Amino acid sequence: MILDGKCPSGPIETSWDRHRFDTKLVNPANKRKFKILCVGTGLAGGAAAASLGELGYNVHAFCYQDSARRAHSIAAQGGINAAKNYPNDGDSIYRLFYDTVKGGDFRAREADVWRLAQVSNNIIDQCVAQGIPFARDYAGYLDNRSFGGAQVSRTFYARGQTGQQLLLGAYSALSRQVKAGSVKLFPRREMLDLVVVDGEAKGITVRNLCTGEIESHWGDAVIVASGGYVNVFYLSTNAMGCSVTAQWRAAKKGAYFANPCYTQIHPTCIPQHGDRQSKLTLMSESLRNDGRCWVPKSKEDTGKNPNDIPEDDRDYYLERKYPSFGNLAPRDIASRAAKEQCDEGRGVGPGGRGVYLDFASSIERVGQSTIQEKYGNLFEMYEKITDEDGYERPMRIYPAPHYAMGGLWVDYNCMSNIPGLFVLGEANFSVHGANRLGASALMQGLADGYFVIPYTIGGYLAQTKPGAVTDENPEFKKSADEVRGELDKLLSINGSKTPSQLHRKLGSLMWDNVGMARSKESLKETLQKIPEIREEFWSDVKVAGSGEDFNQQLEMAWRLADFLEFGEVLVHDALDREESCGGHFRVEHQTEDGEATRDDENYAYVAAWEFKGTGEKPELHKEPLKFENVELAVRSYK
Amino acid sequence: MKLTLHVWRQNGPDAEGRLETYDAPDVSPDQSFLEMLDDVNEELVKEGKDPIAFDHDCREGICGMCSQVIDGVPHGGMERTTVCQLHMRVFNDGDEVFIEPWKSRAFPVIKDLVVDRGALDKIIQAGGYVSCHTGGVPDGNAHPIAKPSADYAMDAAECIGCGACVAACPNGSAVLFTGAKVSQLAVLPQGKIEAKRRVNLMTETSKELGFGNCTNHYECQASCPKGIDVKFIAKLNREYIKALF
């Protein structure tokens, strides 16, 4: 089937304004009659729930954490982009739009990206009004810094905790609506099913993570803003609870999963220290401005103290391979290059999975105090985790899964192919194409939540009758019974492997075969092995405790069960996409010097996968991508 | 290294709790404290025993989910460090370690080391915000804000809402948490308009929820993983008194 994103036609500059005018409205007096369920309270979900509550809708918001203030948006460090052009350096909505389309390696929808760039300015205004303490200059005006993939300074920031401050802003707006009575919070709830009645999303089934109760919730529309799925690799920079579960449960009810193979591997993370590690920690990419990446030329030197390795015996591989960009090569390139060195046996640190990031020459040039001023907190964090002093000895870094560009398929209204199911933020696929630029995730989350969904959801609700379907509908009981059946099955296996053992197994398979470099062979092998691990899971997992109370082992097992199904779809997508673009690198499709080669003629489409049963090949639906405002070009970093 | 753990186990809010002893026989100094507990739990699960429940999520010191009292000190006593960022190299082979949940009347235990911190959300819901609607706000640069004020607001805004301040306080007071939010917004022009109402509502709500008063022990600042300064308590008091007039 050919999918239609329902983007407005005509000049792109006015597309969102025209679309807003054309979208039906819900009478203010009628809004309170509609109930909207919102899953996830990160930037996208929190902002959506707050804004819809302000409009007068009756909103129920769900999150698995103990408070709406803790979603993983909170961990974003760097900043948020906007086309304000405050520095007078030539920025504009068009330039932000252009940079984002190009940065995404021409695999995003133009109209969606335009809208994102357009509302980016409103986001900054909104956040300032909420009292978010952005960095300011001595005259009291907002400060900007530069970020990757752009030649202008358009990134607004609050020290190294921009995500935290933006999330607390959305949380405060949400708290205000809780007090006003328009939003009701349901923390410590996990969405385990989407209830679809007559083809439309009308509710969810959740588990109360404290009491174990399986609850049915009905709504006139359902918003899923549950974040991304890179914990499919087990070790990632995501929080421990981040999962594909809400997305996957919707996919199993018919929502298409778009571009799941577009995963972002961030080059500068603190390497794994052993095989019992639980997660990886990101170090801001800005470090590569002053640090030089290298590994020993010879394998024999990898165990030596790096300071004892003479200059001639070091391989500054990024400078060697990409002389013009050097250490500032983009994320995907830098990540793959680091992996290559380690695969050749020249990696350093535990397990040979690390490369050096060396500040010695910068310290010699500008002095330690200058480096300290710029990156002091990062050196501190590095020392806390590794017990090594990055000023005295080169840091060790290694790439790690960080972000999912893919997600549930949505049209221009952020509505999935199931009417009434809206998907926001990282959970949808819409604006980042095959690669996300730094400081754009926060922008998208808040754009979707504050400025897109409040308009587009009205278009859907206006043609429905409020409260037409409630939890009295038999579909709700059916769904709850199915969930309970699954629960009983999980608890009854009583095998010998713990959920985290099996998650590590899946993670290492995915990382080795579907991580930074993918080949037809590695993908086919993975397609064989995932079902084996799934089989092992369903026959030999051991889930301690009961379903009747707080049970974190059960939470882990349930999330893993979904990763074990979803992982296959990711691999199918990677196998189908016979090209290299952004975060998706197929070794068969590269130039002689290792550059990704895109195939615009055959692959300029969104791949939206329809679930056809566990272990069955999902069905591919395509949405062709048209580029009418940006010319397709090759990204080169030589 | 090998450690002996004494861990608070409690089946539910109304159940009786007790300390139980577990061995952590093979601890790597590079592990985080939570990873050490993960290993203990893996063994417990394999032995068919109930693993230790503890809250955690981002494991990089920012979400505020982790909440353990280690050897009597919330977050374990390393300066500006959450439990998840506490690494095992600060312990010694043979150490006995006591692990307990946050202890406060306002934070009922859910299970083992997991407590209900919903009361902190209620303090924010009482007034910890600027009442602005989405849309219809002026340009971000319309009102310059002096850098010292913006920096002061940011110092307060760094609070991660973990509740260590309450757990550390002999009175179980949430005054550092409340003071940080009140101060952040009181110093900014956009927050000044509601300052009086806000400080009254938040303080009253905090009392109703069972949090105690401040008697200047300053244990809160000492245990705060973000180093939130007690000067924000003084600011809260000033705002409170100003609101009387």
**Chain centre to alpha carbon of residue B154:** 17
Which residue of chain A comes nearest to B31, CA vs CA? Answer: A277
What is the four-CA torsion angle of B88, B91, B93, B98, rounded to 10 degrees?
A: -100
Contact by Cβ (8 Å): B7, B22: yes
Contact by Cβ (8 Å): B168, B222: yes
Which of B209, B121, B216, B210 minimizes the C-alpha distance to B163? B121
Residue that finishes a domain, picked among A399, A420, A451: A399
Q: Do A165 and B157 touch (CB under 8 A)?
A: yes
Other Cβ atoms less than 10 A from the Cβ of B160: the count is: 24
Per-residue pLDDT for A150 more than 80?
no
Residue A214's beta-bridge partner residues? A207
Q: A352 to each of A295, B87, B220, how far by Cα in Å?
A: 11, 22, 42
In chain A, which residues have their Cβ closer than 8 Å to the Cβ of B57? 65, 70, 72, 239-241
**Cα maximum dimension of chain B:** 64
Could you give the CA distance from residue A583 to residue A335 in angstroms, rounded to a whole number?
Answer: 10
A593 lies in the same domain as A480: yes
Most A CBs within 10 A among B36, B42, B58, hence the mutation to make, goes to B58
Q: Do B45 and A178 touch (CB under 8 A)?
A: no
Q: What is the CATH number of the domain that holds A589?
A: 1.20.58.100
A481 lies in the same domain as A393: no
Q: Do B134 and A142 touch (CB under 8 A)?
A: no
State residue A627 phi and psi, 5-degree precision: -115, 100
Write out the residue range of the structural domain in which residue A361 sits.
267-399
Task: Specify the pLDDT at position A303.
Answer: 93
B129 in contact with chain A, both atoms CB, cutoff 8 A: yes
In chain B, which residues have their Cβ closer than 8 Å to the Cβ of A185? 121
Which of B117, B122, B97 minimizes the C-alpha distance to B107? B117
Structure pTM? 0.97
pLDDT in tens, B130-183: 999 999 999 999 999 999 999 999 999 999 999 999 999 999 999 999 999 999
Could you give the CA distance from residue A19 to residue B159 in angstroms, rounded to a whole number?
Answer: 40
Domain tally for chain A?
2
Residue A560 lies in a domain: yes
Could you give the CA distance from residue A568 to residue A67 in angstroms, rounded to a whole number?
Answer: 32
Total residue length of chain B: 245
Could you give the CA distance from residue B74 to residue B81 in angstroms, rounded to a whole number?
Answer: 10
Contact by Cβ (8 Å): A629, A111: no
A385 lies in the same domain as A490: no
Q: Do A276 and B38 touch (CB under 8 A)?
A: yes
Q: Do B30 and A386 touch (CB under 8 A)?
A: yes
Residue A490 lies in a domain: yes
Q: Do B144 and A141 touch (CB under 8 A)?
A: yes
A498 lies in the same domain as A384: no
Tell me if residue B3 falls in helix, strand or coil.
strand
Reply yes or no on domain B118-242 having CATH 2.130.10.10. Answer: no
In chain A, which residues have their Cβ closer than 8 Å to the Cβ of B12? 549
For A550, the closest of B58, B110, B153 (CB atoms) is B110
In chain B, which residues have their Cβ closer than 8 Å to the Cβ of A270? none
C-alpha distance from B156 to closest chain A C-alpha (Å): 10
Residue that finishes a domain, picked among A348, A374, A399: A399
Residue B110's beta-bridge partner residues? none
For A278, the closest of B29, B59, B132 (CB atoms) is B59
Could you give the CA distance from residue B177 to residue B164 in angstroms, rounded to a whole number?
Answer: 9
Which of B169, B149, B159 minimizes the C-alpha distance to B229? B159
Residue A608's beta-bridge partner residues? A258, A621
Could you give the CA distance from residue A2 to residue B156 in angstroms, rounded to a whole number?
Answer: 52
Which of A503, A488, A634, A631 minimizes the C-alpha distance to A567? A503
Most B CBs within 10 A among A118, A130, A184, A402, hence the mutation to make, goes to A130
B59 in contact with chain A, both atoms CB, cutoff 8 A: yes
Compute the average pLDDT of residues A561-570: 98
Q: Do B38 and A126 touch (CB under 8 A)?
A: no
In chain A, which residues have their Cβ closer than 8 Å to the Cβ of B53? 550, 552
A282 lies in the same domain as A395: yes
Share of chain A above pLDDT 90, in %: 85
Share of chain A above pLDDT 70, in %: 99
Per-residue pLDDT for B200 more than 70?
yes
In chain B, which residues have their Cβ closer than 8 Å to the Cβ of A130? 129-130, 132, 190
Q: Do A164 and B87 touch (CB under 8 A)?
A: no
For A141, the closest of B53, B125, B141 (CB atoms) is B141
pLDDT in tens, A480-514: 999 999 999 999 999 999 999 999 999 999 999 99
Start-to-end CA distance of chain A, whole Å, equals: 40
Contact by Cβ (8 Å): B3, B97: yes
Task: Specify the pLDDT at position B91.
Answer: 97
Contact by Cβ (8 Å): A222, A201: yes
Q: What is the DSSP letter of A446?
A: H
Compute the average pLDDT of residues A541-547: 95
Which of B26, B156, B6 minimizes the C-alpha distance to B88? B26
Compute the average pLDDT of residues A109-117: 98
Compute the average pLDDT of residues B47-63: 96
Q: From the CA atom positions of chain B, what is the Rg in Å?
A: 20
Contacts of A260 (CB under 8 A, 6+ apart): A229, A404, A406, A566, A569, A570, A573, A609
Q: Where are the beta strands (DSSP E) in A114-188?
A: 155-156, 183-186
Residue A523 lies in a domain: yes
How would residue A322 be classed by pLDDT, with cut points 50, 70 and 90?
A: confident
Which of A84, A111, A79, A78 minimizes the C-alpha distance to A97? A111
Write out the residue limits of the CATH 1.10.1060.10 domain(s) in chain B: 118-242
Task: Specify the pLDDT at position A160.
Answer: 83
Q: From the CA atom positions of chain A, what is the Rg in Å?
A: 24
Which of A591, B90, A15 minimizes the C-alpha distance to A5? A15
Could you give the CA distance from residue B69 to residue B184 in angstroms, rounded to a whole number?
Answer: 28
Tell me if residue A341 falls in helix, strand or coil.
helix
Other Cβ atoms less than 10 A from the Cβ of A595: the count is: 17
Query: Where does residue B232 fall: left (phi above 0), alpha (psi -120 to 50 degrees), or beta otherwise?
Result: alpha
Q: Give contacts of B 211-240 with A, CB under 8 A.
A: none
Which of A229, A233, A230 minimizes the C-alpha distance to A512? A233
CA angle (A382 as vertex; A380, A383 as ends), nearest 5: 65
Which of A217, A167, A161, A163 minimizes the C-alpha distance to A189? A217
C-alpha distance from A61 to closest chain B C-alpha (Å): 14
Residue B115's beta-bridge partner residues? B109
In chain B, which residues have their Cβ closer than 8 Å to the Cβ of A272? none
Burial of A365: CB neighbours in 10 Å, binned 0-12, 13-18, 19+: exposed
pLDDT in tens, A231-264: 999 999 999 999 999 999 999 999 999 999 999 9
Task: Specify the pLDDT at position B109.
Answer: 97
Task: Specify the pLDDT at position A146.
Answer: 78
Could you give the CA distance from residue A391 to residue A396 in angstroms, rounded to a whole number?
Answer: 12
**Chain centre to alpha carbon of residue B151:** 22
Which of A408, A469, A421, A465 minimizes the C-alpha distance to A222? A421
Q: Do A51 and B134 touch (CB under 8 A)?
A: yes
What is the four-CA torsion angle of A331, A334, A337, A339, rounded to 10 degrees?
A: -60
Per-residue pLDDT for A285 more than 80?
no
Q: Do B62 and A75 touch (CB under 8 A)?
A: yes
Q: Give contacts of B 89-108 with A, CB under 8 A.
A: 89
Catalytic residue among A69, A95, A331, A598: A331
Residue A541 lies in a domain: yes
How would residue A637 be classed by pLDDT, with cut points 50, 70 and 90?
A: low
Per-residue pLDDT for A457 more than 70?
yes
Q: What is the CATH number of the domain that holds A360?
A: 3.90.700.10
How would residue A284 be classed by pLDDT, with cut points 50, 70 and 90?
A: confident
For B58, the closest of A72, A158, A549 (CB atoms) is A72
Could you give the CA distance from residue B165 to residue A230 in angstroms, rounded to a whole number?
Answer: 34
Task: Specify the pLDDT at position A136.
Answer: 94
A386 lies in the same domain as A483: no
DSSP A224-266: E-----GGGGSSSSS-TT--SHHHHHHHHTTPPEE-TT-EEEE
Q: A364 to each of A370, A371, A495, how far by Cα in Å?
A: 11, 10, 58
Contact by Cβ (8 Å): A526, A569: no
| Mean pLDDT (chain A, rounded) | 95
- A120-124, A145-149, A575-579: lowest mean pLDDT where? A145-149
Question: Is A331 annotated as catalytic?
Answer: yes
Could you give the CA distance from residue A123 to residue A112 in angstroms, rounded to a whole number?
Answer: 16
How would residue A336 be classed by pLDDT, with cut points 50, 70 and 90?
A: confident
Contact by Cβ (8 Å): A295, A346: yes
In chain B, which residues have their Cβ closer than 8 Å to the Cβ of A540? none
B83 in contact with chain A, both atoms CB, cutoff 8 A: no
What is the four-CA torsion angle of A579, A585, A590, A596, rounded to 10 degrees?
A: 90
Q: Which amino acid is residue A159, in one-letter code?
A: R
In chain B, which residues have their Cβ closer than 8 Å to the Cβ of A187? 118
Contact by Cβ (8 Å): A205, B158: no
What would be the CATH architecture of the domain defined by B3-111?
A: Roll (3.10)
How would residue A149 be classed by pLDDT, with cut points 50, 70 and 90?
A: low
Could you give the CA distance from residue A491 to residue A486 in angstroms, rounded to a whole number?
Answer: 9
Q: What kind and span of H or E run contains B197? A: helix B195-208
Q: Do B147 and A161 touch (CB under 8 A)?
A: no
Could you give the CA distance from residue A85 to residue A155 in angstroms, rounded to a whole number?
Answer: 10
Could you give the CA distance from residue B205 to residue A474 in angstroms, rounded to a whole number?
Answer: 42
